[in-house]
């Protein structure tokens, strides 16, 4: 039975369980709903869940595990000498899978009967031509070992699928029956449903965490491959970034890290004062009407896709800076060669971060109790004295946290630097020169034709992991500081 119908059956069964459980609960209470421990629908949910959850869980696990199991069994059947010189066992296995699928397709389309498909090796038919007819293209003639393996593959997966259907159906019916038989007016169905809700929430929470772990592990794996091909001393302590796809590249993170930190620093130089002052104005001075109007407006800035900021950097800020500092510019100096520079990217990134800093700081400033302000104003302090001497010191740890979060965003930002910062990896203190960042290099190393066995491509993972560790560290530090601050008032 196809999986779709199996799932449909489960859904139907659980729907039936809902009504069945409900009716039975009401029946055991002789129609008097007040006698039931829980509301009638909870009994329905209980039966419904018992029929559905274990069965669908078993189905999911089976669907994941069966291909792996069959793969190992079948690949064990292929003798080592059957693998051609230029090939690998993996390639042969993919042929096996394709032949198996092709035979299934042929049966489905009526070209072969099931019996003919099983005996296709004896019939002397040209299997490759047959595969061609059903739309499965094979590079070679089908060798007997492959055909044998494909037949075994089909057998195993047929058996597996039948077994799966039986197990799932039994589980569903068993769950249904078990829960149905437990349905009684004193049964605490509501508590069971409550636990099921809890389980669902825990599952959702752990899924997010597990995904993060998965991402880190996959990066770690590729990074290990990279360090197998390239020396780690060059990566961490070298001074040149010069990837060369013919080999002999120098791949050092330091020039990229310098560019990243320099651009982020300029971005924070723009974003922190402006964002902080905006937050102070909005939370301490602005009237309700101004606040209601200005705060959403500022937050719209945060909703602009960064690629749009990138365009702004490329088309407006870069040329404007070049007009000022470039050749034939207004200042009459020749400090800037093109429109892309550290300053271009830094300024635009700073603008991007303003709403981020201001909205976080605004929340933190608002969390300072009104009693602090009243106390200071009541002593005859002015508003700005109050802000400077009472509100800011009280909010400072939180604001530091906000700035660190902004810094970690700046370090991880990609599109603005791709479009505004340039592509030259170097150490320079001149903000009007082009530089490049870690994220920009990851993009350029992974775009186009890539060979995932060369250090020039794999370096992207090492860069990504370093970036991840860097921003993770900043975030942890920021959250630690913010949390410590919150404890003061609660």
Residues 279-298 that bind other proteins (CB under 8 A): 287-288
- Report CA Rg, the chain: 33
Residue of 14, 151, 341, 376 interacting with other proteins (CB under 8 A):
376
Strand partners, 326: 336
Give Cα 184 distance to the centre of its chain. Answer: 45
303: left (phi over 0), alpha (psi -120 to 50) or beta: alpha
Site string for other proteins, 230-269 (x = CB under 8 A): ----------------------------------------
Question: Which residue lies nearer to other proteins by CB, 133 or 374?
Answer: 374
Question: How near is the Cβ of 282 to other proteins at its closest, in Å?
Answer: 15
379 sits near other proteins (criterion: CB under 8 A): yes
Question: How near is the Cβ of 257 to other proteins at its closest, in Å?
Answer: 37
32 sits near other proteins (criterion: CB under 8 A): no
Residue of 381, 424, 443, 477 interacting with other proteins (CB under 8 A):
381
Other beta carbons within 10 angstroms of residue 84's beta carbon come to 11
Site string for other proteins, 149-188 (x = CB under 8 A): ----------------------------------------
135: left (phi over 0), alpha (psi -120 to 50) or beta: left
Q: Are 55 and 17 in contact (CB under 8 A)?
A: no
Other beta carbons within 10 angstroms of residue 331's beta carbon come to 11
394 sits near other proteins (criterion: CB under 8 A): yes
Q: Are 348 and 317 in contact (CB under 8 A)?
A: yes
Question: Which residue lies nearer to other proteins by CB, 12 or 379?
Answer: 379
CA 21/CA 42 separation, integer angstroms: 9
Which stretch, 184-192, 262-270, 328-336, 367-375, contacts other proteins (CB under 8 A)? Answer: 367-375
72 sits near other proteins (criterion: CB under 8 A): no
- DSSP class of residue 427 equals -
- How do strand 250-251 and strand 241-242 relate by DSSP bridges? antiparallel
Please count the residues of this chain forming the interface with other proteins, following the rule CB under 8 A: 21
Residue of 110, 135, 380, 448 interacting with other proteins (CB under 8 A):
380
Residue of 378, 448, 453, 487 interacting with other proteins (CB under 8 A):
378
Distances (CA, A) of 313 to 261, 343, 367: 18, 10, 35
- Residues that bind other proteins in the complex, under the rule CB under 8 A: 287-288, 369, 371-382, 385, 389-390, 393-394, 488
């Amino acid at each position: 039975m196809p999986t779709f119908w199996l799932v449909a059956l489960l859904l139907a069964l659980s729907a039936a369980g809902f009504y069945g459980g409900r009716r039975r609960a009401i029946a055991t209470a002789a129609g008097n709903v007040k006698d039931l421990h829980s509301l009638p629908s909870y009994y329905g949910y209980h039966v419904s869940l018992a029929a559905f959850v274990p069965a669908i869980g078993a189905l999911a696990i089976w669907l994941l595990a069966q291909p792996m199991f069959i793969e190992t069994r079948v690949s064990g059947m292929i003798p080592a000498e059957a693998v051609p010189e230029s090939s690998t066992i993996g390639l042969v296995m993919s042929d096996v899978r394709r032949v198996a699928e092709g035979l299934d397709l042929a049966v489905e389309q009526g070209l072969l009967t099931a019996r003919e498909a099983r005996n296709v090796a004896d019939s002397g038919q040209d299997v490759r031509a047959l595969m061609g007819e059903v739309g499965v293209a094979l590079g070679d003639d089908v060798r007997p070992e492959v055909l044998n393996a494909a037949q075994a593959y089909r057998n195993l997966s047929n058996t597996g699928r039948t077994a799966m259907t039986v197990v799932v159906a039994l589980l569903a019916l068993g769950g249904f029956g078990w829960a149905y038989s437990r349905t009684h007016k004193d049964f605490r169905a509501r508590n069971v449903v409550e636990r099921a809700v809890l389980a669902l929430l825990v599952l959702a929470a752990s899924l997010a965490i597990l995904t993060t772990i998965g991402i880190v592990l996959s990066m770690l794996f590729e990074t290990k491959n990279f360090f197998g091909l390239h020396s780690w001393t060059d990566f961490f302590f070298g001074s040149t970034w010069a990837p060369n796809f013919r080999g002999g590249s120098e791949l050092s993170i330091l020039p990229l890290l310098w560019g990243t930190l320099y651009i982020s620093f300029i971005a924070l130089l723009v974003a922190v004062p402006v964002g902080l002052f905006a937050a102070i104005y909005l939370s301490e001075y602005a009237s309700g009407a101004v606040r209601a109007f200005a705060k959403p407006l500022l937050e719209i800035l945060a909703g602009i896709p960064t690629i749009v900021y990138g365009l702004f950097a490329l088309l407006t800020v870069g040329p404007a800076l070049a007009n000022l500092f470039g050749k034939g510019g207004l200042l009459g100096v020749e400090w800037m060669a093109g429109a892309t520079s550290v300053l271009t990217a830094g300024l635009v990134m700073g603008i991007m971060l303003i709403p981020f800093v201001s909205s976080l700081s605004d929340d933190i400033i608002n969390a300072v109790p009104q009693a602090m302000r009243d106390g200071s104003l009541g002593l005859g302090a002015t508003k700005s004295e109050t802000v400077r001497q009472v509100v800011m010191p009280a909010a400072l740890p939180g604001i530091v946290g906000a700035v660190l979060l902004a810094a970690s965003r700046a370090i991880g930002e990609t599109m603005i630097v791709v479009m505004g910062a340039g592509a030259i990896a170097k150490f320079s203190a001149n903000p009007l020169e082009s530089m490049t960042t870690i994220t920009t290099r990851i993009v350029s190393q992974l775009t186009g034709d890539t060979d995932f066995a060369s250090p020039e491509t794999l370096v992207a993972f090492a860069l990504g992991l370093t970036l991840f560790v860097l921003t993770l560290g900043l975030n942890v530090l920021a959250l630690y500081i913010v949390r410590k601050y919150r404890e003061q008032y609660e």
